[in-house]
């Protein structure tokens, strides 16, 4: 029988492929194969994905036979990611919270040791592309930027209540923005007339100070800085690295994907110190054993996306993956 356009079989097929085609729209995971090659998921292994997001990495870990605990502080990510891997049943467990509290979260579900940990930092494309979340300077939404929608601080509260000096420091430290001072002065002046409420109000104020030049929007660094401050992202990263390291079994791998230099510096320093067996200082008569020595480096330099991935997924261009393996020392 020749199928007609309204054939239910074709319609179902079309719907399925539309769902499939839509999938990456939530978030396209970066450095997938590279991440899997380090974490080496397999039956019998338990891996913590501390940044579940759209569940792309988690799905790949489960497909290769590992059990996965997926942590995210965003309930929208937990419900999307959770639905995506529903077919894996009790091999997957979703946990709401921040990876900065990984130890407590794992205690609550009775897990003492894990065989791998993954952090794929930052925001998902879905969070970025949802105007109501307030992460984007491209579309109008409330100046929010909370990864955890129940979190105590919004970007608007920072922008409207911090002193000009505090804002300047945030823009300089977290955004590495050369015009930090000028933007902070502009904000402090404008908000006396009317508080900042929306993303575009802030983006326009920044653009009046930093003219558009290359491809990047002038507000990129200011928005990055505010997001980091709202979510205390750098503190959370340091805490999460400590806590997940303490749960790794000997042979367990820790893989971290970062998207800007501030994050990468923290991960690099944290791993480097723990991969160093002996410490030496000019004032010491001889080198001393490093009590924090627990890792073997798996990446001497960060792994970056290949040309094909960078073409396919522009977000991957700033991704850096570092990985270490827990030694059987203590």
Ligand X SMILES: C[S@@+](CC[C@H](N)C(=O)[O-])C[C@H]1O[C@@H](n2cnc3c(N)ncnc32)[C@H](O)[C@@H]1O
What residue ranges bind ligand X (CB under 6 A)? 27, 29, 50-51, 53-57, 71-74, 77, 98-100, 120, 122-124, 147, 236
For residue 147, the minimal CB distance to ligand X (Å) is 4
Closest CA to 234 of 199, 203, 217, 259: 259
The distance of closest approach from Cβ of residue 227 to ligand X in the complex, given in angstroms and rounded to an integer, is: 10
Question: What is the smallest separation between the CB atom of 103 and ligand X, expressed in angstroms?
Answer: 13
**Residue 121 vs residues 75, 99, 240: alpha-carbon distances, Å:** 16, 11, 11
d(CA 276, CA 330): 15
Judged by beta carbon, residue 98 or residue 316, the one nearer ligand X is 98
Please, what is the minimum distance in Å from the beta carbon of residue 136 to ligand X? 15
* The two three-digit tokens of residue 64, written as one number: 């290769």
Indicate the residue among 73 and 180 with the shorter CB distance to ligand X.
73
Within 10 A of 48 (CB to CB), how many other CB atoms are there?
30
Rounded distance, CA 36 to CA 119, Å? 13
* Choice between 51 and 199, CB closer to ligand X: 51
- Give which of 294, 290, 289 is closest to 248, Cα–Cα: 294
Instruction: Report the residue number, 128 or 209, with the smaller CB distance to ligand X.
Output: 128
- Smallest gap from Cβ 71 to ligand X, in A, equals 5
Q: How far is the CB of 73 from ligand X (least distance, A)?
A: 4
Token readout for 146 is 């909370």
CB nearer to ligand X: give 32 or 188: 32
Closest to ligand X by CB, 240 or 252: 240
Cβ atoms of 325 and 271 closer than 8 Å: no
Q: 10 Å Cβ neighbour count for 95? A: 21
For residue 185, give both structure tokens.
């002065």
Q: Can you tell me whether residue 29 is helix, strand or coil? A: coil
- Beta carbon nearer to ligand X, 77 or 114: 77
In whole angstroms, how far apart are CA 150 and each of 50, 81, 96, 133, 161?
Answer: 19, 19, 12, 12, 19
Query: Which residues sit opposite 325 in a β-bridge?
Result: 253, 296
Residue 72 C-beta: closest distance to ligand X, Å: 4
């Amino acid at each position: 029988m020749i199928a007609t356009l309204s054939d239910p079989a074709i319609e179902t097929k079309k719907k399925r492929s539309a769902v499939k085609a839509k999938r990456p729209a939530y978030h396209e995971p970066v450095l997938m194969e590279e991440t899997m090659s380090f974490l080496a998921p397999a039956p019998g292994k338990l891996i913590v994905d501390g940044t579940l997001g759209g569940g792309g990495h988690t799905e790949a870990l489960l497909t290769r036979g590992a059990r996965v605990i997926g942590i995210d502080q965003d309930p929208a990510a937990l419900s999307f990611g959770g639905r995506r891997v529903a077919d894996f049943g009790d091999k997957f467990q979703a946990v709401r919270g921040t990876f900065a509290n990984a130890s407590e979260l794992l205690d609550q579900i009775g897990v003492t040791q894990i065989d791998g940990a993954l952090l794929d930092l930052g925001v998902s494309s879905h969070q970025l592309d949802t105007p109501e979340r307030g992460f984007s300077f491209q579309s109008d939404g409330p100046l929010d930027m909370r990864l955890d929608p129940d979190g105590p601080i919004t970007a608007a509260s920072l922008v409207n209540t911090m002193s000009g000096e505090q804002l300047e420091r945030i823009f300089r430290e977290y955004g590495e923005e050369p015009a930090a001072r000028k933007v902070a002065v502009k904000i402090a002046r404008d908000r006396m007339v009317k508080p900042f409420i929306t993303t575009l109000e802030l983006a326009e104020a920044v653009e009046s100070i930093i003219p558009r030049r290359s491809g990047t929007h002038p507000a990129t660094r200011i928005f990055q800085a505010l997001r980091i401050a709202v979510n205390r992202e750098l503190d959370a990263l340091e805490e999460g690295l400590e806590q997940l390291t303490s749960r790794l079994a000997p042979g367990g791998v820790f893989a971290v994907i970062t998207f800007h230099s501030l994050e990468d510096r923290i991960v690099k320093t944290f791993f480097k110190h723990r991969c160093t067996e002996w410490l030496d200082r000019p004032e010491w008569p001889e080198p001393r054993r490093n009590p924090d020595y627990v890792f073997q480096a798996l990446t001497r330099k960060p792994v970056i996306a290949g040309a094909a991935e960078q073409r396919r997924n522009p977000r991957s261009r700033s991704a850096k993956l570092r990985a270490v393996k827990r030694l059987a020392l203590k």
